């Protein structure tokens, strides 16, 4: 039985929860920056699964590595040891400049891991009275979808109906150091931020902000934690977005592209002291650190380094932003971004433009209703960006 695109869509809507509103394009194949739908139409993927596809679709090196592992050993749980996890942990530490790593699967799980580390560190090391630890977060944050994480979201819809919510979080405006200074007290265990707010609408904090937050955290004996799930691994033109501000965190959270576009792999990395709060039985995950995830994670990191994807994102990001800024269309308010994490803010709803771009062969998505995010796989070439620009120009002329 061969289904039509319309039948696939109907089946998804009939049997699946309606928790997304995807573009009505049913994809069946991908290679590099390109994807094909079930009718054979070709598109450029300019969303990259929110930066999970930095390596492009079906990256050959990563798939080969994964296939080899699939024939050897796939899952041990952490009840037993395996011969691939140690290499992954070592690689993550080398690349992040940290001492220890904790493997999980989804980004949200890694964020939860960081929150647990911060709370336990606060109570057991800093000496915060039990159950009093506070974590400072920013307005417009996006850190995932678990109950605890949405508890400190400022997006109303994310929380509506999902309470009772988890207490222990204080929210401050993003980009304002004084706001954090005003909220830090003896019970503050950590500050958790994104170096660039991706889902928030490609919001870039003022230069020096992260450095000041880091300094303040140090003074007050508070952990400085950065969620680099979307901004990390080359996307912004630095391996980690914190490098733009020279503000290395105490705890870094990685996910998305760490899985090479093929498998969920996430991790937190930190110092021996902080990771030392975890003892056997404290926290874990059945699939976290499995051998397939481990080899995929190593291959994903190696590929970014060997192929200079970071450098490419920086150069091509500037090139593409310059081109986008030449567009003079009344609906365009601003082009902003870092590397290949680019936002085009409009003065009107972006969805309609995303649908027009789809007709031109470009897949992208609105974020926060007025912003179009252009974030193609980092393997994209200059010629492919030129191709994309011609299409975008057609829609915005
Ligand atoms: C995507 C994302 C997450 C959540 O990752 P999942 O794998 O979807 O759970 C967390 N933080 C940031 C910054 C993200 O972009």
CATH of residue 140's domain is 3.40.640.10
Does residue 194 sit in the same domain as residue 317? Answer: no
If you ran DSSP here, which 8-state letter would residue 18 be given?
Answer: -
SS3 label, residue 335: strand
Among 291, 306, 321, give the residue marking a domain's end: 306
Does residue 301 sit in the same domain as residue 154? Answer: yes
Q: What confidence score (pLDDT) does residue 1 get?
A: 72
Does residue 76 sit in the same domain as residue 147? Answer: yes
Pairing type for strands 27-31 and 42-45 reads unpaired
Q: Is 248 a catalytic residue?
A: no
Pocket of ligand 1 from Cβ distances under 6 Å:
50, 106-108, 111, 142-144, 194, 198-199, 227, 229-230, 255-256
Does residue 92 sit in the same domain as residue 227? Answer: yes
Q: What confidence score (pLDDT) does residue 365 get?
A: 87
Whole-number Å distance between alpha carbons of 395 and 371: 15
pLDDT digits (tens, 9 = 90+) for 214-240: 999 999 999 999 999 999 999 999 999
Can you give the residue range of the structural domain that contains 395?
A: 309-365+388-397
Does residue 221 sit in the same domain as residue 318? Answer: no
Total tally of structural domains belonging to the chain:
2
Does residue 100 sit in the same domain as residue 239? Answer: yes
The residue whose CB lies within 8 Å of the most ligand 1 atoms, and thus the one to mutate among 52, 201, 230, 263, is 230
Whole-number Å distance between alpha carbons of 357 and 13: 24
pLDDT digits (tens, 9 = 90+) for 144-153: 999 999 999 9
Does residue 334 sit in the same domain as residue 394? Answer: yes
Mean pLDDT of the region 172-189: 98
Q: In what order do the strands lie in the sheet with 365-367?
A: 332-338, 341-346, 371-374, 365-367
Strand segments (E) across the chain: 27-31, 34-37, 42-45, 100-104, 134-138, 169-172, 188-193, 223-227, 251-254, 266-270, 332-338, 341-346, 362-363, 365-367, 371-374
Q: Is 227 a catalytic residue?
A: yes
């Amino acid at each position: 039985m061969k289904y039509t695109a319309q039948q696939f869509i109907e089946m998804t809507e009939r049997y699946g929860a309606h928790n997304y509103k995807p573009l009505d394009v049913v994809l069946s194949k991908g290679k590099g920056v390109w994807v094909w739908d079930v009718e054979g139409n070709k598109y450029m993927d300019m969303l990259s699964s929110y930066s999970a596809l930095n390596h492009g679709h079906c990256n050959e090196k990563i798939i080969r590595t994964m296939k080899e592992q699939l024939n050897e050993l796939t899952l041990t749980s952490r009840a037993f040891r395996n011969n691939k996890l140690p290499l992954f942990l070592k690689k993550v530490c080398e690349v992040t400049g940290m001492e220890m790593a904790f493997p999980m699967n989804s980004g949200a799980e890694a964020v939860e891991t960081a929150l647990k580390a911060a709370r336990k560190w606060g109570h057991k090391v800093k000496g915060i009275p039990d159950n009093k630890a506070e974590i400072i977060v920013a307005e417009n944050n996006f850190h995932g979808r678990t109950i605890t994480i949405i508890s400190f979201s400022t997006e109303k819809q994310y929380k509506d109906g999902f309470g009772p919510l988890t207490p222990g979080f204080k929210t401050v405006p993003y980009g304002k150091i004084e706001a954090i200074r005003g909220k830090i007290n003896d019970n503050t265990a950590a500050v958790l931020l994104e170096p660039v707010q991706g889902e928030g609408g490609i919001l870039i904090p003022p230069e020096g902000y992260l450095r000041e937050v880091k300094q303040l955290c140090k003074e007050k004996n508070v952990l400085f934690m950065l969620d680099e799930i979307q901004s990390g691994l080359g996307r912004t033109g630095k391996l980690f977005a914190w490098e733009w501000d020279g503000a290395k965190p105490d705890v870094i959270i990685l996910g998305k592209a760490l899985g090479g576009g093929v498998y969920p792999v996430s991790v937190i990395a930190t110092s021996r002291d902080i990771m030392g709060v975890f003892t056997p039985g404290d926290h874990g995950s059945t699939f976290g650190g499995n051998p397939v995830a481990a080899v995929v994670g190593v291959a994903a990191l190696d590929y970014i380094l060997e192929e200079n994807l970071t450098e490419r994102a920086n150069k091509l990001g500037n090139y593409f932003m310059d081109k986008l800024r030449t567009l003079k269309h009344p609906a365009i308010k601003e082009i902003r971004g870092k590397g290949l994490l680019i936002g085009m803010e409009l003065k009107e709803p972006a969805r309609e433009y995303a649908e027009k771009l789809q007709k031109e062969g470009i897949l992208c998505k609105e974020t926060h209703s007025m912003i179009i995010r252009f974030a193609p796989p980092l393997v994209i070439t200059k010629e492919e960006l030129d191709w994309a620009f011609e299409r975008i120009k057609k829609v915005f002329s």
